[in-house]
């Protein structure tokens, strides 16, 4: 069971503005959109990579919390 893709890493997305879009992308030979959500300011979603979801696309200002740290989509690097 430890190798099960359903036991993938969890991550948390916290919206910093209304209308933040979360788009799940499929796994496999052809990457496609398979799920979409919208979050409003201060809403939080807990998500997990699975056998069907290999990536997430996030549009808008949000903070993404992972086991590697927090990523603020509204901060730009020089």
What is the residue range of 46's domain? Answer: 5-72
| Rounded Cα–Cα distance for residues 38 and 73 (Å) | 15
- Ramachandran angles phi, psi of 22, nearest 5°: -120, 125
In this predicted structure, what is the pLDDT of residue 1? 46
Average pLDDT over residues 34-60: 89
Residue 28: CATH number of its domain: 2.60.40.50
In this predicted structure, what is the pLDDT of residue 21? 96
In this structure, the number of other CB atoms found within 10 A of the CB of residue 3 comes to: 5
Residue 35 or residue 60, greater confidence: 60
Asked whether residue 77 is assigned to any structural domain, the reply reads: no
Asked whether residue 21 is assigned to any structural domain, the reply reads: yes
Total domain count, the chain: 1
Q: Output the 3-class SS for 36-77.
A: EEEECCCCEEEEECCCCEEEEEEECCEEEEECCEEEECCCCC
pTM above 0.85? no
Average pLDDT over residues 26-35: 77
In this predicted structure, what is the pLDDT of residue 32? 79
Give the three-class secondary structure for 5: helix
The answer to whether residue 54 scores a pLDDT higher than 90 is: no
């Amino acid at each position: 069971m430890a190798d099960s893709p359903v036991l993938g890493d969890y991550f948390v997305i916290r919206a910093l503005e209304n209308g933040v879009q979360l788009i799940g992308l499929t796994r496999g030979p052809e990457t496609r959109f398979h799920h979409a959500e919208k979050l409003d300011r201060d809403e939080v979603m807990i998500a997990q990579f699975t056998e069907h979801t290999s990536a997430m696309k996030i549009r808008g200002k949000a903070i993404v919390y992972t086991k590697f740290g927090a990523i603020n989509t509204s901060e730009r690097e020089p």
